[in-house]
Structure 1
Amino acid sequence: MLCLTVGTVVRVVERRSGMQLLEVQIAVTDTKELAVSFAHEPHAIGENLIVNTTAVRLHLGTGGYHLVVGKADAGSEIDLFPNQWGHVMKMRYSPWQLAVDTVEEQDSPFHELFAQQDLSLQGTPVLIGELHSLLPAAVIALKQNEPQAKIVYVMPDAASLPISLSGHVHQLQQLGYLDATITTGHAWGGDREAVTIHSGLLAARHVEHADIIVCILGPGVAGTGTPYAFSGIQLAEVIHAVSALGGFPMMIPRISFADARRRHFGISHHTTVLLKRFALRPVVLAMPQMGNDFDAVLDQQIVELQKLDKHIIIRGMVADRSRIASMEKEYGFGFTTMGRSWQADPVPFQTAVIAADLLSHWRADLAKVFSDDPQCFSSRDKLAALDLFWTRNEEQP
């Protein structure tokens, strides 16, 4: 299904870097509806646009907007996404394929850097997660813990492709919490572009000089109620890349006690399936300790994960609700996930904060361990390397 129609701009609702929200008059339905344009040119009232209406017609929740393909009455060739040196195409062979300035390609000033075969993340911690809605809580907690730390967001392509769709990224950069963004694969629009998740992570470290990397999927994840077809499965590739490149992989599990779907109650099946079957390298998993009856549910689910003898699970007491409320106020926009406010479903946000707090607590010790043994976190036996870290720092997982 691919539905295209013509709409006329009647109002420009919002303009921000890389994105315009427009109200358009749809000719075939004679209704005024919202559409998003990612073109780097202003739209004006009265313009006729070709609009993709497919997602809205299917009543999908991703944004609830139509997507602008282009101007219906453009009289000449227009460059809607200017670049400098790039010839690598993203969204290849789609009607919106575009050439971007990737950090790795031959004309890039960073090409020689990426021509090295032994580039490493140098023990840099990478905070990994599925739900884009948790990005603000994680990043704000990291910045509160370490105001001087440089935090870089790497967005893979399993969910939304244009990063400008994310209001969270825009707001976090405006407030100075995020220092840079990198889009990988077919995702596009970051401060830097990369061809793969591997080079995107390396760019975060060596081009943007990240102290901490956050790699959470963009908005608009897909799920099918099966253990094989959900956007979060891409996180296995992220875990493998961080591990193979000598980074420190730490994951925010997807947890909720407000989701009515049984498969997402407690630790979501998106997390358990990923860790049990598809993540072939160990990851450090931050688990909440809530001090109520929900702990019994988590305890049982954690036992199943521990049977794998593959991942390291760390428990931490959840952040007080007053801290989440304070962070939300500082952020300036509401914390919501899957249509629920943090007050209705606090555990996802508390879990993200726990992961950020633990990572900040260990970061100085991680740097020391790496300086002692440069190959520590890139060894094939990653679990042994992580165990070595806990032993040296007298931490008990």
Structure 2
Amino acid sequence: MAYRPTVPLVSPPVITWRRGEVLEVRRAWRGAVELTVRQEGTGDPVRALAYPALVGDPAVGDTVLLNTTAQTMGLGTGGYALVVALPERLPADPPRGPGHLVKTRYTPLQAVVLGVDEQDSPHHEVLRDADDLGAMPVVVADLHSAVPAICAGVRAVRPGTRIAYIMTDGGALPLWFSMTAAALREADWLTGTITAGQAVGGDLEAVTVHSALLAARHVLGADLAIVTQGPGNLGTDTRWGFSGVAAGEAVNAVATLGGHAVAALRISDADPRERHQGVSHHSLTAYGRVALAAADVVVPELDEPLASRVAADVAPLRARHRVVAVPVDGLDQALRDVPVKLSTMGRGLDEDHAHFLASAAAGRYAASLLPAAD
């Protein structure tokens, strides 16, 4: 007999709506503006975020329509009120240009962008038949916080490496949300960014991770690519209900296209949750169950007792993957030279040293796979 649930199958979405007035434009970074907004009714000030490409440029005195759901729930990563519209000062209609790729499809803020892989793109001819990454190293990681640490590890070996960042749609959908990506791009630590799937706001837009990888290689001319979700990992304390499973799918995509997959482990001895201590179950599930193709799994050479725990945790991965030990000497300084604030789950470099060392070690190893510089 089929199981019949005793609870409703449909849970209505929860959205908290507010109107407000912009009191202050606090700061801006690539694609985003942070505001102080006074809420209508209560008069309470809230921290709000606007994406000008979607809603226009807010100014002091503007009335704004807000979605305050994440802020009301106290979410750590997404704890902003988000500007949905400037109802009394709507932006002018943009000129009709090339591009028909719709992202955040069939939501109120769906946007049409020019996809790097679509017919109107100047790169369509290049990508139409592109099918190979030419053994390009691709570092795959679970968390967005790994990106600057991976870059630090790469640059410790090859400072001039052209690094492309591919953001999947497992976390934040707008790349504009990421101050980290904006700062790395500004510092020329990233050659370019590509948003794949429903994610939006990269230097290039791609339909899939596969076409994003090919664009990194054949359009941006990257030597090496990094694939992670955007800020805001989603987890449910279940074996399969977390957005990081996409890391395993990214390994498969890299292998399918003839790239060299390098798996960065999520390691911690500071996370209070048992399932994320040592090697996180997110890495073990993504690489051990989801990734069907082989990758080089990088194990940083850490101090005891964490080193022994990590070695035991990764032992099952040896059945499919190549487990590579990588020294971490010199990586602490490389991490301290990163032009952004390092933070994972609210913990900085000194609070969760092993996490960042593991990502930097993956970057160091990936850089060692590149041909010798001329």
Q: Shared fold (TM-score greater than 0.5)?
A: yes
**Amino acid across the alignment from 2:185:** Q
C-alpha distance in 2, partners of 1:344/1:66?
A: 28
C-alpha distance in 2, partners of 1:303/1:130?
A: 19
C-alpha distance in 2, partners of 1:75/1:260?
A: 46
Indicate if the aligned counterparts of 1:53 and 1:67 stay in contact, CA closer than 8 A.
yes
C-alpha distance in 1, partners of 2:333/2:41?
A: 45
- Residue 317 of structure 1 corresponds to 327
- Residue 10 of structure 2 corresponds to none
**Amino acid across the alignment from 1:101:** L
Does residue 1:59 correspond to 2:74, yes or no? yes
Within 5 Å, give how 1:1-397 maps onto structure 2. Answer: 1-40=14-53, 41-74=56-89, 77-79=92-94, 84-116=97-129, 119-306=131-318, 309-320=319-330, 323-325=331-333, 327-328=335-336, 330-364=337-371
- Once the two structures are TM-superposed, the CA of residue 75 in structure 1 deviates from its matched residue by 5.8
C-alpha distance in 2, partners of 1:326/1:120?
A: 32
Indicate if the aligned counterparts of 2:156 and 2:334 stay in contact, CA closer than 8 A.
no
Aligned residues between the structures: 358
Q: Normalising by the residue count of structure 2, what TM-score does the alignment of the two structures yield?
A: 0.91
Q: Over residues 342-393 of structure 1, what are the superposed CA-to-partner deviations in whole Å (9 max), with x where a residue is unaligned?
A: 112100111111111111122228x9xxxxxxxxxxxxxxxxxxxxxxxxxx
- Once the two structures are TM-superposed, the CA of residue 258 in structure 1 deviates from its matched residue by 0.6
Q: Which has the higher contact order (CA 8 A, sep 6+)?
A: 2
- Once the two structures are TM-superposed, the CA of residue 76 in structure 1 deviates from its matched residue by 7.0
**Amino acid across the alignment from 1:314:** V
Q: Over residues 205-247 of structure 1, what are the superposed CA-to-partner deviations in whole Å (9 max), with x where a residue is unaligned?
A: 0011111111122111100001111110111221111000000
Q: Over residues 228-277 of structure 1, what are the superposed CA-to-partner deviations in whole Å (9 max), with x where a residue is unaligned?
A: 11110111221111000000000111010111111001000001111222
With over 3 angstroms needed to count, the CA separation of the structure-2 counterparts of 1:145 and 1:325, relative to structure 1, is closer
- Residue 384 of structure 1 corresponds to none
C-alpha distance in 2, partners of 1:253/1:353?
A: 10
C-alpha distance in 1, partners of 2:133/2:87?
A: 46
With over 3 angstroms needed to count, the CA separation of the structure-2 counterparts of 1:16 and 1:83, relative to structure 1, is farther
> As a proportion of its length, which structure holds more helix?
1
Indicate if the aligned counterparts of 1:232 and 1:270 stay in contact, CA closer than 8 A.
yes
Indicate if the aligned counterparts of 1:146 and 1:360 stay in contact, CA closer than 8 A.
yes
Q: SS at the partner of 2:134?
A: coil
- Once the two structures are TM-superposed, the CA of residue 77 in structure 1 deviates from its matched residue by 5.0
- Once the two structures are TM-superposed, the CA of residue 326 in structure 1 deviates from its matched residue by 5.1
Q: Over residues 166-222 of structure 1, what are the superposed CA-to-partner deviations in whole Å (9 max), with x where a residue is unaligned?
A: 111111111111111111101111111101111010000001111111112211110
**Amino acid across the alignment from 2:332:** I
- Once the two structures are TM-superposed, the CA of residue 112 in structure 1 deviates from its matched residue by 1.9
- Residue 370 of structure 1 corresponds to none
Stretches of structure 1 lacking an aligned partner (at least 5 in a row): 368-397
Stretches of structure 2 lacking an aligned partner (at least 5 in a row): 1-13
- Residue 389 of structure 1 corresponds to none
C-alpha distance in 2, partners of 1:319/1:157?
A: 34
